[in-house]
Homo-oligomer: A and B are copies of this chain.
Amino acid sequence: MTRSPILVITTGGTIDKQYFDALSEYKISDSVIEQLLATARVKHPFRVVELMRKDSLELTEADRDLIAATIAAAPEKRVVITHGTDTMTDTAKALAHLKDRTIVLAGALAPARFKESDAPFNLGMAFACCQAAQPGVWITMNGTVFDGLAVRKDREAGAFVSI
């Protein structure tokens, strides 16, 4: 394992959701990713790009093109993307053409600002996976490293499962 730098792209999703009392609403806020990495005492070199703040159901083809273009233009070979869970697998497919990169998508089923959230564990999985796995697109959710092209979200179960 070399300590090659990691590009972290944030796109929004539940992981970054905040509660706004003024609206009695629950919206995507400024990203908590840098704070999660500080709490985890990460010393590994990384760079965060806050690319968009969207619920993943609102992501367009243009958004996915932008994510792909950002990765293609980056010097880093290891990439973590934080992403809403509902269309995470669509984005995985849209990035499959990028060769020679280890790309890992992760998100959370409960916002990172909650006391009980899967966010730090999933982000940790993504950090390790992009260092340890072969080039390709991976999804790290529910404790499993999934092939990003062979997984779906089982919405009722609230969990990702292999296909």
Contacts and interface: CB of A to CB of B under 8 A. Distances in A.
A121 B124 contact: yes
Interface residues of A, number: 60
B122 A125 contact: no
Interface in A143-163: 143-147, 155-156, 158-162
Contacts of A21: 14, 85, 109-110, 158
Contacts of A160: 43
A142 B1 contact: no
Interface string A127-146: 11101110000101011111
Contact of A1 (B1, B111, B147): B147
A114 to B, nearest CB: 5
Interface string A97-131: 00000000000011101111110111111111101
A159 B43 contact: yes
B22 A158 contact: yes
A115 B133 CA distance: 30
A128 B117 contact: no
A57 interface: yes
A120 to B, nearest CB: 4
Contacts of A83: none
B118 A41 contact: yes
Given A1-B147, A19-B110, A127-B128, 20 more contacts: A14-B24, A17-B19, A19-B111, A21-B85, A22-B155, A22-B158, A24-B55, A24-B86, A25-B26, A26-B26, A39-B118, A40-B122, A41-B143, A42-B142, A43-B161, A44-B142, A115-B115, A120-B120, A124-B128, A124-B140
